[in-house]
């Protein structure tokens, strides 16, 4: 397992960064809208749709709980580390909106409870 480029304390500070929370809320809402537009035969659709319905207007608590998983995604860790500082606000500013949206999209299935098999096998779309 490769070493992480930031300490867990630094990642925790990033996950608690108040300037990142509103952006996470908007990213969740945007991806929820994308899920609503998916065809019903999308693998895992019922679970994906249910999560979208649940978080369409994400509360701060929902966004804060999802933020922990987001900031430890490889792309966001890399973006935060590239900031060259351990200042949470500066690390948050180094994360682009596209990186944040991509991380929410990648994490959508696991948070929704869609198994890896359902995500790759359309015959398991309702599991």
User: SS3 helix, strand, coil % of the chain, rounded to 5?
Assistant: 70, 0, 30
pLDDT, position 17 = 95
pLDDT, position 36 = 96
Please list, residue by residue across 61-96, b when 16 or more beta carbons sit within 10 angstroms of its beta carbon and e when fewer do: eebbebbebbbbbebbbebbbebeebebeebbbbbe
3-class SS of residue 125: coil
Q: Are 25 and 98 within 8 A, CB to CB?
A: no
Dig out the tokens for 70 from the structure. 């987001």
pLDDT, position 106 = 94
Dig out the tokens for 12 from the structure. 């925790």
Dig out the tokens for 56 from the structure. 């369409």
- For residues 47 and 113, what is the distance between their CA atoms, to the nearest angstrom? 7
Could you read off the pLDDT tens digit of each residue along the chain, which spans 127 residues? Answer: 678 899 999 999 999 999 999 999 999 999 999 999 999 999 999 999 999 999 888 788 888 888 999 999 999 999 999 999 999 999 999 999 999 999 999 999 999 999 877 565 555 544 4
């Amino acid at each position: 397992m490769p070493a992480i480029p930031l300490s867990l304390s630094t990642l925790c500070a990033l996950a608690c960064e108040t300037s990142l929370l509103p952006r996470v809320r908007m990213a969740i809402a945007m991806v929820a809208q994308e899920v609503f537009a998916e065809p019903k035969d999308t693998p895992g659709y019922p679970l994906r749709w249910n999560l979208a319905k649940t978080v369409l207007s994400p509360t701060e608590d929902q966004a804060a709980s999802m933020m922990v998983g987001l900031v430890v995604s490889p792309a966001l860790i890399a973006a935060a580390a590239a900031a060259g500082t351990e200042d949470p606000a500066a690390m948050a500013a180094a994360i682009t909106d596209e990186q944040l949206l991509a991380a929410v999209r990648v994490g959508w299935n696991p948070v929704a409870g869609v198994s890896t098999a359902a995500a790759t096998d359309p015959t398991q779309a309702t599991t």
